[in-house]
Structure 1
Amino acid sequence: MNRSTLKDLLEKYRTPFEEEKDFVPEFIVLTGDPKAFLRERKEGHFTASAWIVNKTRTHALLTHHKKLNRWLQLGGHADGNENLMEVAMTEAKEESGLISLKLVDSLIFDIDKHLIPANKKEKQHFHYDVRFLVEAAMDESLTVSEESKDLAWVAFDAVPDVVGNNKSILRMLEKTSKSEYAL
């Protein structure tokens, strides 16, 4: 995958969720920015995430993000890598220690534009997050990274209680139960 492939995937991307539809044109335009995959693009840049589920689609793997102090999907910055699928898989492995990760589909699973609050190192900015659906075995041991406070397999019915009103995670949860992604 490169920025041209990403642009093609975004142009073909379809979603029934209005908030996600609103993001698509911005994501497409961003693919043309030379700094789109770099943190140095201060107004916002691409990131990639893995929505990790178990094979029977009953649990999702979430990380308690240290800086944001919230339960989230695993993922991170592209740091110049235009292959966001590769970024998502690399980040998932680094942040979980899992080896058994399996990409379910090479198509984009979800997109989300969200504001990252200012901190000591950077001003507030947007993450344009491209997400992929990934499977993993729940019996494999987890390794908490320096970026996390904790990792947990969370039962689908408990995810709303854990993530609160995080619409993007609730959206991915809903998508996971749809027939095209269910077993």
Structure 2
Amino acid sequence: MSRKELTSLLSHYETSHTSEVHYAPRFVSLLQNFPGCFRRDLVSGHITGSAWVVSSALDQVVLLHHKKLNRWLQPGGHADGEEDVLKVAAKELEEETGLSAYKWITKDVFDIDIHLIPERGNEPAHFHYDIRFIAMAEVSAPLVVSNESRDVRWVPLSAVTEEAGFEESILRMVKKTLKLKASLT
């Protein structure tokens, strides 16, 4: 997926979630006005890619406990100059969970989020412009904890708030997953 394709996808991104409606133009502006937006050295904010991994029954999701942020999140991370964010999401998914047997439910953008990453050491506070894709894997596939995490596991959708709290973007993806499940039954 090229920058041009991503810009087009986000220019036409449709969602019923208010926060995402406001995020889409900010993504497009970043992509059009900042050539280095895929590199983490753009200190105002940069593009990241994530994978929301669901079970085949659409009733569980893979979450990892991020060491630095001390929060439960979906697998994802920095693009480090790679403009194909689907490729970034796949790389991060595999590195952070050990999963290699998965499939993308769609290669369209599943969710977008802009969130502040707090200052740490010499790294100033900055924004992650996170582009999320949805993948499916079998819960029997073994998960591996990476050096960036404290834990990684399958979490029932009904228990996500117990693990991840009331993080708006995580809850939004849970709602989208439940809506997808309902549309398939």
Using structure 1 for the length normalisation, give the TM-score. Answer: 0.97
AA aligned opposite 1:30 = L
Q: Deviations over 1:72-122 (max 9, x none)?
A: 000000000000001001100010111112111011000000000000130
- In structure 2, what is the equivalent of residue 65 of structure 1? 66
- In structure 2, what is the equivalent of residue 37 of structure 1? 38
- In structure 2, what is the equivalent of residue 26 of structure 1? 26
User: Whole-Å Cα distance in 2 between the matches of residues 181 and 67 of structure 1?
Assistant: 35
User: Whole-Å Cα distance in 2 between the matches of residues 170 and 121 of structure 1?
Assistant: 31
More helix by share: 2
User: Whole-Å Cα distance in 2 between the matches of residues 180 and 15 of structure 1?
Assistant: 17
Q: CA deviation at 1:180?
A: 7.2
> Considering only aligned residues, what root-mean-square deviation do their CA atoms show, in Å?
1.1
2:162 is the alignment partner of 1:161: yes
Aligned ranges 1:133-152 → 2 under 5 Å:
133-152=134-153
% identity of equivalent residues: 46
User: Whole-Å Cα distance in 1 between the matches of residues 122 and 70 of structure 2?
Assistant: 17
Q: Unaligned regions of 5+ residues in structure 1, if any?
A: none
User: Whole-Å Cα distance in 1 between the matches of residues 67 and 91 of structure 2?
Assistant: 19
Contact 1:57 1:182 in 2 (8 A): no
User: Whole-Å Cα distance in 2 between the matches of residues 172 and 130 of structure 1?
Assistant: 12
- Secondary structure, in 3 states, of the residue corresponding to 2:179? coil
Q: Deviations over 1:37-56 (max 9, x none)?
A: 00010000000000000111
Structure 1 residue runs of 4 or more that deviate by more than 6 Å after TM superposition: none
AA aligned opposite 2:24 = V
- Secondary structure, in 3 states, of the residue corresponding to 1:25? helix
- In structure 2, what is the equivalent of residue 13 of structure 1? 13
